[in-house]
Amino acid sequence: MPILYVLIITTFLFSSTYDIGDIVSNEDQLIEKNTCYAGNGYDVGESWKLADWNGALNGGNYNVIFIDMAATWWPSCWTGHNGPAGYEHQDYEDNNSVKFLNALSDLNQPYSCSQWGSAPDGGGSHIVEDTGYDIWELFETGSAFPSTVFIDHDMKVYDMMNNAGSWSIGLRIDAMLENCGSLCVDIVEECSWVETGDINYDQIINIQDIMLVVQHILENDAADACIPDVNGDSSVNINDVILILNIILY
């Protein structure tokens, strides 16, 4: 059964602020919304804003983002949340650099935020209350619910659409991750690459990796996300430098 869409025929809602290829302004990244269903590290009642996921503003934690904009009074929104978007959310749960967000409008008409988030077969994604249609006005497609938007690590609108199927969601997220490269690697899960000698995770082992190890030794930088302990002896020293040099030469 095809998904139906409802048009918002309201005099002050005509078209989205952003088009594909546009960079989301810092001002719009700072729009705060209240979390009504926990996810992405936010508890119920905590505020969320796009700037939280911008590596240029949060200290270097880059992400790619999929936002599903829905209204509780339209059944096809529910279908979309439980269907392709929900399944794709599950596929990327282990990658902290991929953020799924539901901006939910008109709560309790008739569904509550809790009902929306607890729905079977794909529920459970982070939900914020889009009171006033602020997020929807920025990124809607065709003045319709549901609308979806993909935002890359540079806060550029990668794509926008209404009917985002599972295949198309995954395709776009994978492309954004590839463009983001090492900036969007889940550091906590992926530090195993250090043992290969590729300290900066650029797929090349060269003098830059040696320089990073030397810098760590000289500065004793315990804040490094991945400690460059190449030989796994719980210490970063000249032996790690020699090991990388041997990898490069041989």
pLDDT, tens only, 43-94: 999 999 999 999 999 888 899 999 999 998 976 666 555 555 666 777 888 7
Residue 115: per-residue pLDDT: 87
Taking only the tens place, the pLDDT of each residue in 133-179 is 999 999 999 999 889 999 999 999 999 998 777 888 999 999 999 89
Collapsed DSSP state (helix, strand, coil) of residue 221: coil
* C-alpha span between 113 and 94 (Å, rounded): 24
* C-alpha span between 90 and 88 (Å, rounded): 5
- Per the listing, tokens 């339209």 go with 74
- Domains of the chain (ranges; CATH) run 6-185 (3.40.30.10), 188-249 (no CATH)
Taking only the tens place, the pLDDT of each residue in 174-216 is 999 989 988 887 654 456 778 888 887 777 899 988 998 998 8
Residue 4, pLDDT above cutoff 50: no
Best-predicted range by mean pLDDT (21-25, 85-89, 125-129): 21-25
Residue 205 exposed, middle or buried by CB count within 10 Å (0-12, 13-18, 19+): middle
Residue 245: per-residue pLDDT: 93
* C-alpha span between 135 and 104 (Å, rounded): 9
